[in-house]
């Protein structure tokens, strides 16, 4: 019976780790007794498949053309293969096990086992009654770019609908509420920007070698994604009973009766841009009285909503939506 | 239950060796849990490893894998005394998991902070390259968490997706969960007499009571996911690119480009037209209901009501911001 493939792959890994100099295919074949096919090209093909499988698993099989040799040689550099000096203590292993339990055993268990292989066993830990759900597989495509510092290219659609090709040195990834951002230096514009991954078209490519750039020290990715701080304002609203509840939930202060049947309420820390949608959501149960520019912006938006939902607009008909 | 044949995994086998060298006599059951697999698969992999080692003339030097009952010991395997580096995919996933956990539960589990730091260093990733924002529990979440710790009920007023007016709820809290950027409370709704999930940003005046919980906490909690029901209506929306965020708030059945300007046509189902109308209003003219007609009208009426409310507001009271300039 033929040797099971997993045993052959594990042993090939060990042979390539243990050798001091690159081994040619013929040497490997002689030494291991694998690839016994009488047809040399089919034996060679089987070895090439194994080599590719190992590389796809993340095992750094190197090809080296040694001086004076006809055939290339292969080896695995221990320094590239081995994970050393992680230095996790028992509390940290317990904390990371909890994180993996909380957010994804499927994705996290094996990588954590690698990091904790030589660490002490986890200390006892009382798990807090908290769960979280982050789709960590969403951003797999950027992993080689971020972890190995490789350049990424993609077509990007900006908030106002324009598209353009970008070449980016990715400094990192940011998760903010429901969105992912790739943050990095846009090479053509020579500027550090945040790119929402859901505005990238489907042509994301990781290109070029590892360590293609250096990440600036003390970079605060969060502030790049959050953008400059827009000064916030106090908004005064007149709220119907239904709206009072929503405003109260956001921490508004009741300032007494307003016009007929309403209460005047003051909301602090309103960002005129980011909170516009929220204010539209509570309309008409809570109407903004001041500041004036916020009132004008809301009036504008509401007029557009009303116009768009007036008599049926031409253009896309319902039939254009695929079932 | 159907049982598939155990599938051995090369990377797991390469990781099991250093792990087991460090832990002679490890329990098969516990090791399987650590490696997110089952005992049958683990056994198969260990049996294969017994035939692994340094291949060579005369049979080479094979590993010694000894299984007795639930215990396993691996010897003569020094070639693999160190684990392999995580792949970039594994590294990024693990960093995201650890960083998110640190944001969400770092206050309760302080070791997460130093662990995240060591992970970045070991994986060769710049500190801060993986950043998770807005995941910290707010005050309401902290109140719920202390209620869970104390085993007492919480009381709050709540406005569900389909509710026109908020109603008071008394809930025996089981767990809080951060999902898709929002915090949820899982618990036993005393009024409904059943387990329910609440979005905490639709709650107000939440307090912990001094009434102890009566119902046992279930061992397995369900995730908050929207389930379509028979009462749902079919809706079609047209979204300008700047209103694509709306997709995050709904579960769309299908999307299709609707024009060269980047607009999307979206089909979805909802049991709560009122909530959807509010959502469309929030897009401020960058989203349009295509179908059904009565939802279009509902949106138009809401917008017109809101415009009238803006006109009426502040009419009969003095404008306090006036003055100065």
Q: What was the pLDDT predicted at A314?
A: 42
Q: What was the pLDDT predicted at B323?
A: 38
Which of B30-34, B67-71, B314-318 is least confident?
B314-318
Q: Which of A94, A174, A305 sits opposite B299 (nearest CB)?
A: A305
| Average of per-residue pLDDT across B19-30 | 96
C-alpha of B237 from chain center? 27
* CB-based contact A222 B131, cutoff 8 Å: yes
Reply yes or no on whether the pLDDT at B218 is more than 90: no
Reading the block at residue A198, the tokens are 């859901």
* CB-based contact A128 B97, cutoff 8 Å: no
Main-chain phi, psi angles of B59, to 5 degrees: 90, -15
Q: Which residues of A touch B181 (CB under 8 A)?
A: 176-178
Q: Which of A198, A217, A177 is nearest to B126 (CA)?
A: A217
Q: How far apart are CA A253 and CA A282, in angstroms?
A: 16
Average pLDDT, chain B: 84
Q: What was the pLDDT predicted at A103?
A: 87
Average pLDDT, chain A: 87
Q: Note whether B64 and B75 are within 8 A (CB).
A: yes
Reply yes or no on whether the pLDDT at A311 is more than 60: no
Q: What was the pLDDT predicted at B229?
A: 57
Provide CB contacts within 8 A for B148, sequence distance 6+: A129, B173, B174, B175, B176
Nearest CA in chain A to B36: A109
Q: How far apart are CA B176 and CA B49, in angstroms?
A: 42
| Average of per-residue pLDDT across B150-156 | 94
Half-sphere exposure of residue B61, counting CA atoms within 13 Å on the CB side? 10
| Average of per-residue pLDDT across A15-40 | 88
* CB-based contact B111 A139, cutoff 8 Å: no
Q: Note whether B80 and A108 are within 8 A (CB).
A: no
Return the percentage of chain B with pLDDT > 90, whole number: 44
Q: Which of B32, B28, B15, B20 is nearest to B68 (CA)?
A: B28
Q: In this predicted model, which residue has the larger pLDDT, B227 or A211?
A: A211
Alpha helices in A250-291 (DSSP H): 276-282
Q: What was the pLDDT predicted at B251?
A: 64
Q: Note whether A171 and A186 are within 8 A (CB).
A: no
**What value does the CA radius of gyration of chain A take, rounded to a whole number of Å?**
30
Query: The complex's ipTM?
Result: 0.79
Q: Note whether B207 and B154 are within 8 A (CB).
A: yes
Q: How far apart are CA B217 and CA B170, in angstroms?
A: 16
Q: How many CB atoms lie within 10 A of CB B93?
A: 25
Most A CBs within 10 Å, among B42, B46, B81, B133, to test the A interface: B133
Band of residue B164 on the pLDDT scale cut at 50, 70, 90:
low
Q: What was the pLDDT predicted at A318?
A: 40
Q: What was the pLDDT predicted at B321?
A: 46
By the 10 Å C-beta count (0-12 exposed, 13-18 middle, 19+ buried), A43 is classed as middle
| Average of per-residue pLDDT across A261-290 | 87
Band of residue B324 on the pLDDT scale cut at 50, 70, 90:
very low
* CB-based contact A305 B11, cutoff 8 Å: no
Q: Which residues of B touch A184 (CB under 8 A)?
A: none
Q: What was the pLDDT predicted at A91?
A: 95
Helices B273-282 and B293-312: crossing angle, nearest 10°?
60
Reply yes or no on whether the pLDDT at A35 is more than 90: no
Reply yes or no on whether the pLDDT at A109 is more than 50: yes
Q: In this predicted model, which residue has the larger pLDDT, B86 or B324?
A: B86
- pLDDT, one tens digit per residue, over A237-271 is 998 887 888 888 788 888 888 887 888 999 888 88
| Average of per-residue pLDDT across B62-74 | 93
Main-chain phi, psi angles of B263, to 5 degrees: -70, 150
* CB-based contact A99 B148, cutoff 8 Å: no
Per mean pLDDT, which of A81-95, A222-236, B255-269, B281-295 is the most reliable? A81-95
Band of residue A321 on the pLDDT scale cut at 50, 70, 90:
very low
pTM for this prediction = 0.77
Q: What was the pLDDT predicted at A313?
A: 43
Q: Which of B26, B8, B14, B19 is nearest to B73 (CA)?
A: B26
| Average of per-residue pLDDT across A271-290 | 86
Nearest CA in chain B to A278: B282
Q: How far apart are CA B114 and CA B101, in angstroms?
A: 12
How close A192 comes to chain B (CA, Å)? 14
Q: How far apart are CA B35 and CA B33, in angstroms?
A: 5
Q: What was the pLDDT predicted at A317?
A: 41
Nearest CA in chain A to B187: A129
Q: What was the pLDDT predicted at A224?
A: 86
What is the bridge-based pairing of β-strands A233-239 and A151-157? unpaired
| Average of per-residue pLDDT across B282-310 | 90
Band of residue B276 on the pLDDT scale cut at 50, 70, 90:
confident
Could you tell me where the beta strands, DSSP code E, fall in chain B?
A: 26-27, 53-54, 61-62, 64-68, 71-75, 130-133, 152-158, 167-179, 182-189, 194-199, 203-212, 233-239, 252-257, 264-270, 287-291
Reply yes or no on whether the pLDDT at B322 is more than 50: no
Reading the block at residue A109, the tokens are 């268990």
Q: Which residues pair with A254 in a beta bridge?
A: A265
| Average of per-residue pLDDT across B298-322 | 75
């Amino acid at each position: 019976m033929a040797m099971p493939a997993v045993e052959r792959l594990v042993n090939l890994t060990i042979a390539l780790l243990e050798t001091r100099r690159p081994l040619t295919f013929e040497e490997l074949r002689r030494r291991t007794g694998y690839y016994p096919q009488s047809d040399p090209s089919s034996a060679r093909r089987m070895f090439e498949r194994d080599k590719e499988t190992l590389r796809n698993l993340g095992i750094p099989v190197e090809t080296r053309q040694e001086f004076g040799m006809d055939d290339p040689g292969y080896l695995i550099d221990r320094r590239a293969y081995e994970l050393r000096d992680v230095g996790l203590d028992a509390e940290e292993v317990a904390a990371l096990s909890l994180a993996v339990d909380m957010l994804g055993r499927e994705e996290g268990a094996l990588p954590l086992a690698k990091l904790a292989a030589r660490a002490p066993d986890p200390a006892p830990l009382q798990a807090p009654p908290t769960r979280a759900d982050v789709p960590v597989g969403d951003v797999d495509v950027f992993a080689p770019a971020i972890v190995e510092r490789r350049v990424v290219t993609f077509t990007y659609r900006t908030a106002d609908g324009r598209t353009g090709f970008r070449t980016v040195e990715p400094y990192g990834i940011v998760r903010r509420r429901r969105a992912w951002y790739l943050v990095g230096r846009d090479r053509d514009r020579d500027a550090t920007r945040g790119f929402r991954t859901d505005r990238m078209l489907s042509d994301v490519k990781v290109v070029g070698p590892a360590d293609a750039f250096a990440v600036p020290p003390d970079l605060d990715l969060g502030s790049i994604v959050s953008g400059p701080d827009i000064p916030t304002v106090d908004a005064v609203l007149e709220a119907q009973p239904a709206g009072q509840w929503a405003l109260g939930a956001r921490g508004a202060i009741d300032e007494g009766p307003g016009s007929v049947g309403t209460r005047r309420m003051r909301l602090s820390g309103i960002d005129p841009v980011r909170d516009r949608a929220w204010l539209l959501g509570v309309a008409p149960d809570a109407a903004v009285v001041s500041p004036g520019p916020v009132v004008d912006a809301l009036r504008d938006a509401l007029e557009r909503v009303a116009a768009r939902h007036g008599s049926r607009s031409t253009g896309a008909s319902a039939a254009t939506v695929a079932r | 239950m159907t049982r598939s044949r155990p599938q051995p995994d090369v990377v797991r086998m390469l990781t099991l060796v250093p792990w087991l060298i460090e832990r002679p006599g490890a329990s098969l059951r516990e090791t399987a849990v650590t490696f997110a697999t089952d005992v049958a698969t683990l056994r198969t992999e260990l049996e294969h490893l017994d035939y692994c080692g340094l291949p060579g003339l005369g049979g080479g030097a094979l590993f010694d894998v000894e299984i007795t009952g639930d215990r396993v010991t691996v010897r003569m395997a020094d070639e693999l005394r160190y684990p392999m580096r995580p792949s970039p995919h594994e590294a990024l996933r693990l960093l995201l998991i650890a960083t998110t956990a640190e944001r969400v539960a770092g206050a309760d589990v302080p070791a997460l902070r130093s662990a995240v730091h060591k992970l970045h260093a070991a994986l060769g990733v710049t500190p801060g390259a993986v950043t998770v924002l807005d995941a910290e529990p707010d005050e309401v979440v902290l109140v719920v968490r202390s209620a869970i710790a104390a085993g007492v009920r919480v009381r709050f007023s709540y406005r569900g997706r389909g509710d026109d007016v908020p109603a008071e709820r008394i809930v025996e809290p089981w767990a809080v969960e951060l999902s898709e950027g929002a915090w949820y409370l899982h618990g036993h709704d005393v009024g409904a007499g059943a387990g329910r999930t609440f979005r905490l940003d639709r709650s107000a005046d939440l307090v912990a009571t001094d009434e102890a919980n009566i119902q046992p906490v279930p061992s397995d909690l369900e995730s908050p996911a929207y389930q379509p029901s028979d009462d749902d209506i079919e809706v079609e929306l047209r979204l300008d690119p700047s209103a694509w965020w709306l997709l995050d708030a709904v579960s769309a059945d299908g999307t299709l480009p609707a024009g060269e300007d980047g607009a999307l046509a979206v089909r979805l189902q909802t049991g709560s037209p009122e909530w959807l109308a509010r959502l469309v209003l929030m897009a401020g003219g960058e989203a349009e209901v295509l179908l059904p007609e009565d939802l279009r009208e509902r949106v138009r009426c809401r917008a017109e009501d809101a415009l009238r409310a803006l006109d009426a507001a502040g009419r009969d009271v003095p404008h306090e911001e006036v003055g100065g300039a």
